[in-house]
Copies of this chain bind each other. A is one copy, B any other.
């Protein structure tokens, strides 16, 4: 490693030393965000936003393909509207921003900057749904929301974030249950197939469910440091909002019925997950399928005759099958190598005078650092194959990490030991008593992440109280 390289790499704290600092360094050095003058707010820089656009486009297509339509609801919610559903207002009131003045006038009623839009959708649904023929209603919104968090971190927890929120109405509880599960599966596909992040699908406990929901389904992922991150949630709202907002329909027999609702969302948090699942001490690693740039061309000895011309020709060639860019600036190749490693671009393509002589290029994988010499006329087969291989390698690596960091325990002593010696998921039986859940959190710092759909069929005893238990639960310290 040359001196220049070393200096550059040293800008990022090693993750083994201080994971939180490593995260902050990568977020800044990879040029994903900058800080704004309102505490806890972030500016999403072009590179970070381009990753978000790719995630959004993939998910938006799936949302539409499953029959949903996009809408746009107002940013402001009158206080009285938010208060209509009791659990909901209790859950959100402590963390909302209040608008009290418009221009120079004090408002007669305070407005909430939406922390989520259940009540706005509910009010609208109560107006537009009359008959069973109007069901289901399958709407989604892409928007910004605000939550007045005390401690914040870019992407993971910020005053404002970007997300989509789906809100649907169905004739029966069963229809709503199927929708709740269907959208969780869509989220799982986006995470696993595009972000290369393995997820565990399951249900939240009563304590951890969404304020106002019957139940919440979740996908949970494990970060490098052994902490869990909730990567998406899908809520079965039952008839709670329908009762509060009088959303009814007349069924085929002319009887008035409440609709059954769902809501589901993913946020810019996914970028935080991407960083903490794939990143390393050289910076970010972006899975090819969501990478704004999949191949970065770095010309070598570009002042020599013919090099830049050939490099630009190659760019045109590669653009046919991959998202490609070129850095023809007068910075040193070593600087460029580090810069695009920091940004996590999946493949680097080097081309210099000697390569041109031999009609070849050098390809360097970001995930493994592996270098290969490839004939120029083979790029159209080799590059797509390499990108697919990187995508799969990232996924496999993350899955192996999660499995290595998952410990199955039967006693509370083992539980504590696992969290200390091999931080990650702890699988343990639970009696479904909230007291045990709270006790575990207090004693270990771990929260229940989910009751996985895939329950191994083993009877047992609650890891906390020893009573008979039938539910296997994933526990972890979490973001």
Q: Complex formed: what's the CA distance from A62 to B42 in Å?
A: 26
- Chain B residue with the shortest CB-CB distance to A329: B133
Residues of chain B contacted by A71 (CB below 8 angstroms): 43-46, 49
Q: Which of B37, B127, B159 contacts A78 (CB 8 A)?
A: B37
The verdict on A211 contacting chain B, using a C-beta distance below 8 Å, is no
Interface members, chain A 97-145 (any B CB < 8 Å): 97-104, 111, 113, 120, 123-124, 127-128, 139, 143-144
Q: Complex formed: what's the CA distance from A45 to B72 in Å?
A: 7
Contact B72 A123 (CB under 8 A): no
Q: Which of B43, B96, B99, B127 contacts A72 (CB 8 A)?
A: B43
Do A162 and B72 contact each other (CB < 8 Å), given the known contacts A34-B128, A120-B36? yes
- Chain B residue with the shortest CB-CB distance to A41: B74
Contact B104 A74 (CB under 8 A): no
Residues of chain B contacted by A41 (CB below 8 angstroms): 74-76
Contact A94 B103 (CB under 8 A): yes
The verdict on A404 contacting chain B, using a C-beta distance below 8 Å, is no
The verdict on A81 contacting chain B, using a C-beta distance below 8 Å, is yes
Interface members, chain A 142-181 (any B CB < 8 Å): 143-144, 146, 148, 159-160, 162
Nearest CB of chain B from residue A129's CB, rounded to whole Å: 13
Residues of chain B contacted by A104 (CB below 8 angstroms): 94
Do A99 and B113 contact each other (CB < 8 Å), given the known contacts A127-B34, A144-B75? yes
Interface members, chain A 327-343 (any B CB < 8 Å): none
Residues of chain B contacted by A468 (CB below 8 angstroms): none
Q: Which of B73, B124, B146, B148 contacts A75 (CB 8 A)?
A: B146
- Chain B residue with the shortest CB-CB distance to A104: B94
Q: How many copies does the complex hold?
A: 2
Residues of chain B contacted by A162 (CB below 8 angstroms): 72
Q: Which of B46, B100, B102, B128 contacts A139 (CB 8 A)?
A: B46
Q: Complex formed: what's the CA distance from A41 to B74 in Å?
A: 6
Nearest CB of chain B from residue A146's CB, rounded to whole Å: 7
Nearest CB of chain B from residue A278's CB, rounded to whole Å: 22
Residues of chain B contacted by A76 (CB below 8 angstroms): 38, 41, 97, 146, 159-160
Residues of chain B contacted by A159 (CB below 8 angstroms): 74, 76
Residues of chain B contacted by A455 (CB below 8 angstroms): none
The verdict on A95 contacting chain B, using a C-beta distance below 8 Å, is yes
Do A124 and B69 contact each other (CB < 8 Å), given the known contacts A103-B148, A139-B46, A159-B76? no
Residues of chain B contacted by A123 (CB below 8 angstroms): 36-37
Q: Which of B69, B72, B95, B101 contacts A97 (CB 8 A)?
A: B101
Do A36 and B73 contact each other (CB < 8 Å), given the known contacts A94-B104, A148-B102? yes
Q: Which of B43, B52, B127 contacts A74 (CB 8 A)?
A: B43
The verdict on A208 contacting chain B, using a C-beta distance below 8 Å, is no
Contact A36 B74 (CB under 8 A): yes
Please, what's the 1-or-0 string for A56-87, where 1 marks a CB less than 8 Å from any CB in chain B?
A: 00000000000001111111111001000000
Nearest CB of chain B from residue A130's CB, rounded to whole Å: 14
Q: Complex formed: what's the CA distance from A113 to B46 in Å?
A: 22
Contact A98 B101 (CB under 8 A): yes
Nearest CB of chain B from residue A329's CB, rounded to whole Å: 9
Residues of chain B contacted by A409 (CB below 8 angstroms): none
The verdict on A465 contacting chain B, using a C-beta distance below 8 Å, is no
Q: Complex formed: what's the CA distance from A160 to B111 in Å?
A: 13
The verdict on A206 contacting chain B, using a C-beta distance below 8 Å, is no
Residues of chain B contacted by A95 (CB below 8 angstroms): 103
The verdict on A50 contacting chain B, using a C-beta distance below 8 Å, is yes
Q: Mind listing 28 A-B residue pairs with CB under 8 Å?
A: A34-B128, A36-B74, A36-B123, A37-B81, A37-B123, A38-B77, A41-B75, A42-B74, A43-B71, A44-B72, A45-B71, A46-B70, A49-B69, A49-B71, A50-B69, A52-B72, A53-B70, A75-B113, A76-B146, A76-B160, A94-B103, A96-B103, A97-B99, A98-B100, A98-B101, A98-B102, A102-B148, A144-B144
